[in-house]
Structure 1
C-alpha cells in the first residue's frame, strides 16, 4: 500500500463530519463528483470500504468508524496548534463549532453567542442542533452544551446559567375538557405530548417531591422530536407539555398556558459548556470560555 498523507484524509474527514457528499464538497470547495473520486482512491489504496452509500444516506462502516476515532483528535490538535498562533496577532481569530439541543440553544447559548460576537468580530460561530447527546470530539465540534447530569466525567464543564426547573403546561381550554392532574400518575390517560429522541427512545417525564422521585411514561395523540415543538403544540391546544420554566414563563404570565403539578417539578443542575481536556485550547474557544464565565458571574 502506497503511503497516505494527511491531505489524502481531508475528504474522508469532511464526509464523516457532514454525512453528505454535497455539504462536504461545499466545505472543501470542490464538486461532489471530485470528492467521490478522491474517496474511492483512498478506499482503493486502503483496500477497505469506509462508507456505506445509498441515494439517501451516508454512513461510516466499521473500518470508517475506527479510522475516524484515531485521526479526528490528531487533526483537531493540528487545528488547535494553528489557532494558538492567534495570540501573536493580538486578538483571537477563528471559527467555533458548538453542538447543543434546540431548547438549550434558545434559552442560553444563542443569547450568549450574540453578545460574544459583538466584542469578538474576528471569530465566527456555528451552532449545530442535535437533540441527542453526541461525541463532540469525533464529530469535529469545539464544544457542546448540555445539562450537567449527562456530561461525561472526562470533559471539562463550564456553567452557562442558573439551575433549570421543569414545568408541566397546557392551554387553559384543555382543562375545560379534561381533569387537572393532582399527582404525576394522573397524567396517564390525559392527552400528553410525547418527546422522542433520535435514538428512538420516548422520554419518560421526571418528577420529584420530598425526596420521592417518579418517572411517568405518558401517552397521547402527538409525539414530536423537539421540546420547542412540544411548547408550540401545547399553545395550539394539542396536549400537555413537559418544558422548562424559561421556555414557558412568558406564556404563563400572558395566560396562554397554565401550569400544573408545580410542586412535583424538579430542578436540574443547569446548562454547561463542555469540551475535552486539552493542555492547549484554541484561542477562540479560550476567549469564549472566559466570556461565558464572566457572564455567569454577572
Structure 2
C-alpha cells in the first residue's frame, strides 16, 4: 500500500471535521475540486472509503472516523512543532484567522491591527467580520470576538474595549407631540425600529434597573439588521432604536438624537477575544493577545472608551 502524503491526510481531516467540502476548501484556501481529487486519491491509496458523500452532506465512515480520531492529535502536534520553529526564529509567522462581529472588528482595526502588522510582518491576518455566531473550531478560525456574555463556556476569553452600554435613542422630531417612555413597557405605545439578529430572530430589547430585568418585544413596522442603519433610521425620525452607545455618539453630540430610558440602560461587560481552552495556542495568536492586552491597559490608563 502506497503511503499517503501529509497534504492528503490534512485534506481528509479538514473535510471530515467540517463535514463539508466547501467549508474545508475555504479553510485551507484551495478549490473544492482539488480537495475532492485529494480525497479520491487518498481513498484509492488506502483501499477503503473514508467519507460518505451525498448531494447535501459529508460524514466520515466508521473507518474514516477511526482515522480522524488518531490523525487530529498528530496534526495538532505537527502544528505545534512547526510553531516552535517560528518561536526559534524570534518572531511569529504564518496565518492568523479571527472571526469577529462588526463592533469588535472596528475596535481591533483601530487600536490593535496596525501595530500588530507593523510588529509582525511575517503574519497574514485574516479578520472575518460577520454577525452570525459560528463554531470557530469547526470553521477553522484561531479565535473569535463576541460580547463576553456570548462566549462559549469551554473557551478562554480575553476582555477588551471596556464596558458596553445599550441605549434607547430617538430623534427630537419623532418625539415632538409624543410622550417619551418612562419605563420599558411604555415602548408598546411607540413606533420602534426593530433589529433582526443574524440567526433570523428579532432581538428583544433587554433593560435592567436596580436588579429588575425586563425584555420587551417592541412594536414597529421597520426591522433592520445593522446598528449603523438603526441609528440612521432613528436620526431620520423613523422611531426609537436600541443600539450600543458608541454607534449613536456622534449624532447624540450633534443633537440629532436624544437618549431615552436613561436609568434602564446600565453598562454591561463588553467584548472579548476567545479561543479554545484545550488546544495549542499558535505563536501569532499569542502575540496578538499580548498586544491586545497591552493596548487595552493603555486605553484604561488614558480613560478612553470604545
Task: Please confirm whether the aligned pair reaches a TM-score higher than 0.5, indicating the same fold.
Answer: yes
The 1:9/1:23 distance shift into structure 2, 3 A limit, reads closer
Whole-angstrom distance in 2 between the partners of 1:263 and 1:141: 39
Matched residue SS, 2:126: strand
1:24 paired with 2:25, answer: yes
- 1:207 Cα deviation (Å)? 0.4
The 1:141/1:74 distance shift into structure 2, 3 A limit, reads farther
| Residue of structure 1 equivalent to 2:159 | 159
1:242 paired with 2:242, answer: yes
Aligned counterparts, 1:52-91, within 5 A? 52-53=55-56, 75-76=75-76, 78-91=78-91
| Residue of structure 1 equivalent to 2:52 | 49
Deviation per residue, 1:225-275 (Å, 9 max, x gap): 333332233234333221111222122101222211111002211111111
- 1:288 Cα deviation (Å)? 0.8
- 1:215 Cα deviation (Å)? 0.6
Do the aligned partners of 2:224 and 2:230 also contact (CA within 8 Å) in 1?
yes
Aligned-pair Cα RMSD in Å: 3.6
The 1:23/1:253 distance shift into structure 2, 3 A limit, reads farther
- Which stretch shows the higher mean deviation, 272-281 or 184-193? 272-281
Whole-angstrom distance in 2 between the partners of 1:18 and 1:61: 6
| Residue of structure 1 equivalent to 2:99 | 99
The 1:277/1:293 distance shift into structure 2, 3 A limit, reads same
- 1:147 Cα deviation (Å)? 1.7
Whole-angstrom distance in 1 between the partners of 2:208 and 2:73: 40
| Residue of structure 1 equivalent to 2:287 | 287
- 1:167 Cα deviation (Å)? 1.2
| Residue of structure 2 equivalent to 1:199 | 199
Matched residue SS, 1:49: strand
Do the aligned partners of 2:76 and 2:280 also contact (CA within 8 Å) in 1?
no
- Which stretch shows the higher mean deviation, 263-272 or 14-23? 14-23
Whole-angstrom distance in 2 between the partners of 1:239 and 1:8: 56
Do the aligned partners of 1:43 and 1:50 also contact (CA within 8 Å) in 2?
no
The 1:262/1:24 distance shift into structure 2, 3 A limit, reads same
Aligned counterparts, 1:121-136, within 5 A? 121-136=121-136
How many residue pairs get aligned? The number is: 291
The 1:51/1:243 distance shift into structure 2, 3 A limit, reads farther
**Over alpha carbons, which structure has the higher Rg?**
2
The 1:27/1:263 distance shift into structure 2, 3 A limit, reads same
Whole-angstrom distance in 1 between the partners of 2:198 and 2:42: 31
Gaps of 5+ in 1: 54-58
Do the aligned partners of 1:83 and 1:282 also contact (CA within 8 Å) in 2?
yes
Aligned counterparts, 1:138-157, within 5 A? 138-157=138-157
- Which stretch shows the higher mean deviation, 140-149 or 174-183? 174-183
Deviation per residue, 1:148-179 (Å, 9 max, x gap): 21222322111212111111112332222643
- 1:46 Cα deviation (Å)? 2.5
